[in-house]
Amino acid sequence: MVTPAQTLADLLDSMTREGELYETLPDGKVRCFACAHRCVIFPGKRGICQVRFNRGGRLYVPWGYVGALQCDPIEKKPFYHVLPGGRAMTFGMLGCDFRCIFCQNWIISQTLIDDQAGVRPMPLSPDKLIELARQYDAQMVASSYNEPLITSEWAVEIFKRAKREGFVTAYISNGNATPEVLDYLHPHLDCYKVDLKTMQDKNYRRLGGVLANVLKTIEMVHERGFWVEVVTLVIPGFNDSEGELREAARFIKSVSPDIPWHVTAFHPDYKMTDRGGTPPETLIRAAEIGYEEGLHFVYAGNLPGLVGRFENTYCPGCDALLIERYGFYIRQNRLQDGTCPDCGRAIPGIWRR
Ligand code: SF4
């Protein structure tokens, strides 16, 4: 509990333990490699995410709490090729390594960064979280809402138990990863959603990232055999030009045409309130571009009922309707053991536990 004299930073600093994703350097410094910032942190200082810090030459990392907890449709993550119609017990932590001005979860993600942000952490054990997942009939346990990479040690502690109990596990991430963190996660993590926010490096840097790191993450996640889906929030005047959307689609196809690409609608939030939401026609055009560039699965999200066929999954072989959706809800699922019932083509994804 936060006492009158105790700040949120004090409280969060007390809910930590020594991390594993770091190395020690001379003079008490440490280098964290939980995300691609690879912060070198002096004694008494914090990393860019603010929630990992150097105490006495050791890196301390968040442990033993959640900042948010909710049971959502798996489609909301969004994963459209993982256990359709299932539920994901989803936990978030606090803090982020990015500073996106349009963040929809800024209250938790910008903790210790923006004075207006921050919620009281809720102490929770992995066993209790898994018990809740079972009670709510979830099939997936997911880390989302803020950036999961920065709390990977805690996520692994939860995922170890989740995997033992047969849950599918997932990261909903900005894709600012390192090979080290992906190798660390690999035995415990099944699904990885990456945000591809823009194909312009200068715009990524305004958000606190680097385009090349995110592109590399998509490649590394796919190489390692995680199930990956990519999301681009299409923001008017920021990343919605035909050229940029085409470039994003081409890049994803170069990794694999079977990676689903979600183009989702923006709505004004946080510090980006100077423009309206994404019109359906922009989203439909973005989805058409994805298919024109050779991707097999492109989805238009956040505008249920307004984007025609682009909420559904079709067979890339014979164009048969396979999964019909309205928003997060499954209207029909015609897949048979992960294959098209009409032509027998195998459809990539995780269709059963
Ligand atoms: S997780 Fe935090 S401390 Fe570690 S490299 Fe990323 S921003 Fe820096």
Mean pLDDT for the stretch of residues 2-24: 87
Ligand 1 centroid from CA 211, angstroms: 17
CB 156 within 8 A of CB 180: no
Q: What crossing angle do the helices spanning 242-255 and 280-292 adopt, rounded to 10°?
A: 40
Ligand 1 centroid from CA 88, angstroms: 26
> Would you list the domain boundaries of the chain?
8-62, 65-333
Rounded to 5 degrees, φ, ψ at 73 are -60, 140
- Give the residue whose CA is nearest to atom 5 of ligand 1: 38
pLDDT at 2 over 60: no
- Give the residue whose CA is nearest to atom 1 of ligand 1: 150
CB 51 within 8 A of CB 151: yes
pLDDT at 4 over 60: no
Tell me the pLDDT tens digit for each residue of 143-166. 999 999 999 999 999 999 999 999
Pocket test for ligand 1, best of 13, 18, 35 (most atoms within 8 A of CB): 35
Helices (H), 150-272: 152-164, 179-185, 201-207, 211-223, 242-255
Residue type for position 195: D
Ligand 1 centroid from CA 231, angstroms: 23
Q: Which atom of ligand 1 is nearest to the CA of 33?
A: 5
pLDDT at 194 over 60: yes
64 burial via Cβ count (<10 Å: 0-12, 13-18, 19+): middle
Q: CA neighbours within 13 Å on the CB side: how many for 74?
A: 25
What pLDDT band is residue 289 in, cutting at 50, 70 and 90? very high
CB 58 within 8 A of CB 25: no
Tell me the pLDDT tens digit for each residue of 222-280. 999 999 999 999 999 999 999 999 999 999 999 999 999 999 999 998 889 999 999 99
Q: Is 117 helix (H, G, I), strand (E, B) or coil?
A: coil
Q: Which atom of ligand 1 is nearest to the CA of 41?
A: 3
What is the C-alpha to C-alpha distance for residues 98 and 214, in angstroms, rounded to an integer?
A: 12
* Other beta carbons less than 10 A from residue 348's beta carbon: 16
Tell me the pLDDT tens digit for each residue of 293-309. 999 999 999 999 999 99
Annotate 47-96 with DSSP letters as a single string. -TTSSSEEETTEEEEE-SEESEEEEEEGGGTT-SSBSTT-EEEEEE-S--
101 burial via Cβ count (<10 Å: 0-12, 13-18, 19+): middle
What is the C-alpha to C-alpha distance for residues 294 and 291, in angstroms, rounded to an integer?
A: 5
What is the C-alpha to C-alpha distance for residues 148 and 172, in angstroms, rounded to an integer?
A: 7
Ligand 1 centroid from CA 156, angstroms: 17
Ligand 1 centroid from CA 191, angstroms: 22
Within 6 Å (CB) of ligand 1, which residues are found?
32, 34-35, 37-39, 47-49, 52, 97, 150
Q: What is the pLDDT of residue 109?
A: 86
In the predicted model, what is the mean pLDDT of the chain? 96
Architecture category of domain 65-333 in CATH: Alpha-Beta Barrel (3.20)
Instruction: Find where tokens 């849950």 sit.
Output: 167
Rounded to 5 degrees, φ, ψ at 5 are -90, -10
pLDDT at 25 over 80: yes
- Give the residue whose CA is nearest to atom 3 of ligand 1: 47
Ligand 1 centroid from CA 181, angstroms: 11
- Give the residue whose CA is nearest to atom 2 of ligand 1: 49
C-alpha Rg value of the chain to the nearest Å? 20
- Give the residue whose CA is nearest to atom 6 of ligand 1: 35
Tell me the pLDDT tens digit for each residue of 82-120. 999 999 999 999 999 998 988 888 888 888 888 888 888
b/e burial code for range 18-48 (CB count within 10 A of at least 16 → b): ebebbeeeeeeebebbbbbbebebeeeebbb
Ligand 1 centroid from CA 232, angstroms: 23
Pocket test for ligand 1, best of 13, 55, 97 (most atoms within 8 A of CB): 97
Tell me the pLDDT tens digit for each residue of 312-330. 999 999 999 999 999 999 9
What is the C-alpha to C-alpha distance for residues 310 and 327, in angstroms, rounded to an integer?
A: 11
Ligand 1 centroid from CA 289, angstroms: 35
